[in-house]
């Protein structure tokens, strides 16, 4: 039997986005159990969020330092902590856990400032604990596949890297309309000196490096704040020079209408090219130079990765969520049933099932009779 790792969380309170994502991700393969949290910088919200998640109140903390100290002393204290706060808190939070030997899984970007980042590197080096940064796009099976193909020489020596990450949600001044996600991301105090270049440009930059295995050596950047009054960049154009002579172009934007989350990487070498797009993550295009383009799919022919084997090819990662929607709504129904209620619902019923079996039966009968029409009534 697989053991569950005891996990804590810093940040990720009720109205956060990425904290919930971390929790689902931790649960998906049943390898973690969330047992403690300092879920908000506001004590009341921290407690309410802990209660909503079913944490033992004694382990729902008001601040992460208290949490780190106490959990480190508990016999069954947390073994790992997920740090999912705004960027400027990452270093301080991570440090507290690392120095007590608690593993840290931290959201990106690492920190809000370069100074903090360097301190965090030292803290990790000193610690008897692991530090994992959730550059989550490196977790996609086809991204791993791409990296592996480059490493095995499928593209030959790399020449050109095109990476882009456009979004459109900050096309207008959402930060002045009370959207918390927009507020801290456009605030230099909490995000650091980079706006969209820090928030998503770092993903693009990391992805290019992850897949190609190349280090950038210098860059020339043209950052811009298009929305009036915005204090950080919302569009970034960057030319990159990589080790070994490769050249790159990076575009990140949060003011590009029609782009939801359009991270995309294209890599070209002497012997071929690769293309991957986050919004179609189960696909990877590979063109060996002089041959037809090939479309690799997660789990399909030519796929050599081992990551992401939960479901077969053609079942987009997305299939599980569709299934989960059925389960979640069945849970609602079950709870309603406990209380004697029978709400309307969209879930398939036994009659839908009967209908299906009747359909099969009719198909077989019709086909046996030379495709005669058969009633379904």
Footprint of its own copies on 258-277 (CB under 8 A): 258-262, 266, 268-273, 275
| Residue 12 dihedral angles phi and psi, to the nearest 5° | 85, 30
Residues 231-250 that bind its own copies (CB under 8 A): 233, 235-239, 241, 245, 247-249
Closest residue by Cα to residue 279 from 306, 252, 317: 317
Which residue, 72 or 333, is less far from its own copies as judged by CB?
Answer: 333
> Nearest approach, Cβ of 43 to its own copies (angstroms)?
18
List the one residue out of 246, 249, 254 whose CA is nearest residue 265. Answer: 249
Is 75 a binding residue for its own copies by CB under 8 A? The answer is: no
42 binds its own copies (CB under 8 A): no
Q: Which span sits near its own copies by CB under 8 A: 8-16, 23-31, 38-46, 68-76?
A: 23-31
Distance CA 28, CA 317 (A): 12
- Does residue 179 sit in helix, strand or coil? coil
Q: How far is the CB of 69 from its own copies (least distance, A)?
A: 21
Compute the distance between CA of residue 200 and CA of residue 198 in angstroms, rounded to an integer: 6
Q: Please report whether residue 314 would count as binding its own copies according to CB under 8 A.
A: yes
Cα–Cα distance measured from residue 82 to residue 220, given in angstroms and rounded to the nearest whole number: 34
Residue (of 119, 112, 136) closest to 195 by Cα position: 112
How near is the Cβ of 77 to its own copies at its closest, in Å? 14
Instruction: Kindly state whether residue 46 participates in binding its own copies, applying the rule CB under 8 A.
Output: no
Please state the closest distance from residue 171 (CB atom) to its own copies, in A: 5
Closest approach of its own copies to the CB of residue 309, in Å: 10
Rounded (10°) CA dihedral 347, 352, 354, 359: -150
| Three-state SS at 212 | helix
CA dist., res. 167 & res. 239, Å (int)? 20
- Measured CA to CA, the distance from residue 243 to residue 161 in angstroms comes to 12
| Closest of 83, 11, 23 to residue 49, by C-alpha | 11
201 is an interface residue for its own copies by CB under 8 A: yes
Residues 156-185 that bind its own copies (CB under 8 A): 159-160, 162, 164, 167-168, 171-172
Q: What DSSP state is assigned to residue 255?
A: -
Q: Does residue number 49 form part of the binding site for its own copies (CB under 8 A)?
A: no
> Counting contacts by CB under 8 A, is residue 30 touching its own copies?
yes
Which of 58, 69, 114, 189 is close enough to bind its own copies by CB under 8 A? 114
Q: Which stretch binds its own copies (CB under 8 A): 8-16, 38-46, 62-70, 303-311?
A: 303-311
For residue 371, what are its two tokens? 């495709």
* Residue in 69, 180, 231, 293 binding its own copies, rule: CB under 8 A: 293
Nearest approach, Cβ of residue 70 and its own copies (Å):
20
Distance from C-alpha of 366 to C-alpha of 112, rounded to nearest angstrom = 68
**Site residues for its own copies, window 77-106 (CB under 8 A)?**
79-80, 103, 105-106
φ, ψ of residue 267 to 5 degrees: the values are -130, 135
State the DSSP H helix or E strand holding residue 165, giving kind and residue range, or none if neither: strand 158-166
Count CB atoms within 10 A of the CB of residue 48. Answer: 16
Site for its own copies in 138-157 (CB under 8 A): 138-141, 143-144, 147, 155
The conformational region for residue 163 under phi > 0 = left, psi -120 to 50 = alpha, else beta, is beta
Q: Is 117 in the site for its own copies (CB under 8 A)?
A: yes
Does residue 341 touch its own copies according to CB under 8 A?
no
Question: What is the Cα gyration radius of the chain?
Answer: 25
Nearer to its own copies, 73 or 350 (CB): 350
- Closest contact distance (angstroms) between CB of 173 and its own copies is 11
Contacting residue, 15, 28, 74, 126, with its own copies by CB under 8 A: 28
* Residue found by looking up tokens 């008001």 in the block: 62
Binding positions for its own copies, 349-368, rule CB under 8 A: 349-364, 366-367
Q: Which of 24, 58, 66, 74 binds its own copies (CB under 8 A)?
A: 24
Binder among 163, 253, 265, 276 for its own copies (CB under 8 A):
253
């Amino acid at each position: 039997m697989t053991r569950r790792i005891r996990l804590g969380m810093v940040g990720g309170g009720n109205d956060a986005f990425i904290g919930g994502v971390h929790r689902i991700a931790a649960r998906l393969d049943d390898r973690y159990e969330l047992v403690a949290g300092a879920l908000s910088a506001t004590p009341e919200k921290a407690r309410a969020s802990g209660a909503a998640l079913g944490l033992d109140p004694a382990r729902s903390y008001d601040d992460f330092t208290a949490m780190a100290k106490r959990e480190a002393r508990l016999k069954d204290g947390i073994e790992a902590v997920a740090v999912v706060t705004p960027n400027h808190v990452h270093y301080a939070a991570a440090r507290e856990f690392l120095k007590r030997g608690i593993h840290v899984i931290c959201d990106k970007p690492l920190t809000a400032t370069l100074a903090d980042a360097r301190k965090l590197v030292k803290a990790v080096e000193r610690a008897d604990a692991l530090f994992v940064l959730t550059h989550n796009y490196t977790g996609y099976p086809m991204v791993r596949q791409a990296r592996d193909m480059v490493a095995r020489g499928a593209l030959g020596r790399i020449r050109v890297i095109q990476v882009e990450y456009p979004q459109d949600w900050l096309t207008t001044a959402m930060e002045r309309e009370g959207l918390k996600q927009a507020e801290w991301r456009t605030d230099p105090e909490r995000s650091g000196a980079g706006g969209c270049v820090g928030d998503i440009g770092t993903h693009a930059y990391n992805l290019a490096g992850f897949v190609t295995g190349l280090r950038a050596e210098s860059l020339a950047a043209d950052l811009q704040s298009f929305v009036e009054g915005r204090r950080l960049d919302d569009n970034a154009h960057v030319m990159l020079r990589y080790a070994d002579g490769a050249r790159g172009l990076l575009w990140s934007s949060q003011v590009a209408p029609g782009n939801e989350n359009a991270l995309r990487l294209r890599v070209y070498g002497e012997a071929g090219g690769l293309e991957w797009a986050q919004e179609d993550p189960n696909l990877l295009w590979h063109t060996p130079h002089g041959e037809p383009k090939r479309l690799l799919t997660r789990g399909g022919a030519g796929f050599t990765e081992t990551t992401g084997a939960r479901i077969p090819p053609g079942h987009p990662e997305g299939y599980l969520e569709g299934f989960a929607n059925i389960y979640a709504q069945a849970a609602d129904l079950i709870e309603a049933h406990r209380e004697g209620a029978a709400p309307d619902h969209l879930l398939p019923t036994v009659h839908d099932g009967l209908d299906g079996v009747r359909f099969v039966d009719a198909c077989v009968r019709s086909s046996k009779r030379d495709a005669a029409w058969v009633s379904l009534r």
